[in-house]
Every structure is written in structure tokens, then in C-alpha cells.
Amino acid sequence: MRLDKLLSNLGFSSRSLCREMIKKGRVQVDGIVCRDMAMHVPDGAKVTLDGKEIDTRVERYLMMYKPSGYLTAAEDKSQQTVMDLLPKVYHSLGCMPVGRLDKDTTGLLLFTTDGDLAHRLIAPRHHVDKVYLARVDEPLTEEDEQAFREGIKLQDFTAMPAKLERLEETLGRVTVQEGKYHQVKRMFSARGKRVLELHRASFGEMQLDKGMRPGDFRELKEKEIAALYQAAGKAHE
């Protein structure tokens, strides 16, 4: 990527101000002052601004403990979104949520700059399991488990077979591979139950870190990123 584009994508400033910084000799690439704003920066090059090393990775992958009360959306005119919980650099790089959790749902939400990966991870044909803990308003029954196993008929589609495990009288663990709008809530609603609390515990092999609090996020490790690409059936350069 061109040096000026890279710096502005990384959120340092507008493209024109980044050009100024480059012209002034404030930027070095692999230890050499670079005044050529169009210079192609090779992967893995060490770039510094005013002597401080810059993290130049443009592909990013995050996990967040989504708190209740935030929309899963890139932006919204009147309500807070999960993007508001991320520093500017992730906005500049085009990091977006993978799929959607309802405003009142908590738990594991992934973000990536790779839109194709995100798309694949939420497509049911890739069979990526999403596990939710659901607190409902009525006792769960064996018939509920059976209905989830068979696939529940909803107004506009029949949900694919899913797994419901009763953990407590009104607490269930649900494993689904689809992610349609209000999917889990609608499946319970079809069984005459209202979901009072919904929390996503895992996405594929990924689980929320034990120590994470609502609103926390972190970058994924290389091993975790590789597992996501594998789950999505996509090569990772």
C-alpha cells in the first residue's frame, strides 16, 4: 500500500496531513527517511513516525464482550453502537462486526476488516456453531429440546435443527448454525417462551476470555485467526 494511504488508513490524519508529515521527513521506512508519499510499503516493513514504531497491519481481527444497550451496526444517528467502543484506528481500517447481536444481547462479538471472511462465518453452509445462554420466562421441557432438534417452523422460514440443553429450570444452552434476525428469541417464542436474557458464549472454537468484562475487546492471536479462516473454508495469506 502507498505510504500516505497507509498512514491515513491507520487513522493518523487526513491523507493531505499525512503527506505533510512525510514531506517533513517525519516518517522512516526500514530505518530510512522516506519523503516519497507514493512509496509502496512492503508487508512487514518497519515504519516509524517521529521515531516511534507504527503497527502497520491493515487486516485486523478482534473479539469483544458486547455489553447490553449497544446496537450492532456501523453507525446510528441516535443510538450507541458497538463501533463506539472501539478506538478510531479500527474505524479507519474498516473493521466491522461479524454478524449481528441484538441491542440487549451480550457476549462474544467478532470484528474483522475481511468482509468476505465475515460473510462466510455467518453463512449456515459453513456450519459454524454459535452457542448462546438463554434465560427464559417459563420452565424448559424435554419437548422444547425435541422441537429444537427437529427444526422449528417460524413465520417466514423453518429454523435448521439446533441443540437445546437444559442447564437450569429456565436456563438453556442453545447451539445454532444460522444467524437470522432474532433467531434464538423467535425459536423460543414459537415454543411459547420469552427470552429474558441472551448471551453468546462462543462462536466456532472461539470463546470469550474468562477475565473479559462487558465493553472489553482484544485483538485475536495468530492461531485464533487461522482457526477462523479454517472454519470459513478460506485460505489465509
Residues known to be catalytic: 102
User: Which residue in 71, 122, 198, 208 binds ligand URA (CB under 6 A)?
Assistant: 198
User: Which residue in 48, 68, 102, 236 binds ligand URA (CB under 6 A)?
Assistant: 102
Q: Which CB, 6 or 122, lies closer to ligand URA?
A: 122
End-to-end Cα distance, the chain: 16
Q: Does 108 bind ligand URA (CB under 6 A)?
A: no
List of residues 6+ apart from 49 with CB closer than 8 A: 7, 12, 21, 26, 27
Q: Does 105 bind ligand URA (CB under 6 A)?
A: yes
Q: Which CB, 117 or 184, lies closer to ligand URA?
A: 184
Q: Does 71 bind ligand URA (CB under 6 A)?
A: no
58: burial class by Cβ within 10 Å (0-12, 13-18, 19+)?
A: middle
Dihedral (C-alpha) 173, 179, 182, 184: value to the nearest 10 degrees? -20
Nearest-approach distance from CB 202 to ligand URA, in angstroms: 13
User: Which residue in 185, 208, 228, 232 binds ligand URA (CB under 6 A)?
Assistant: 185
Nearest-approach distance from CB 147 to ligand URA, in angstroms: 16
List of residues 6+ apart from 47 with CB closer than 8 A: 3, 6, 27, 28, 29, 41, 53, 54, 56
User: Which residue in 164, 184, 225, 231 binds ligand URA (CB under 6 A)?
Assistant: 184
User: Which residue in 5, 15, 166, 182 binds ligand URA (CB under 6 A)?
Assistant: 182
SS3 33: strand
Binding mask 23-62 for ligand URA (x = CB under 6 A): ----------------------------------------
List of residues 6+ apart from 126 with CB closer than 8 A: 120, 231, 232, 233
The grid coordinates of residue 122 equal: 455467518
Neighbours of 87 (CB within 10 A): 10
The grid coordinates of residue 221 equal: 492471536
Binding range to ligand URA, per CB under 6 A, among 31-39, 98-106, 162-170, 205-213? 98-106
| Site residues for ligand URA per CB under 6 A | 101-102, 105, 182-185, 198
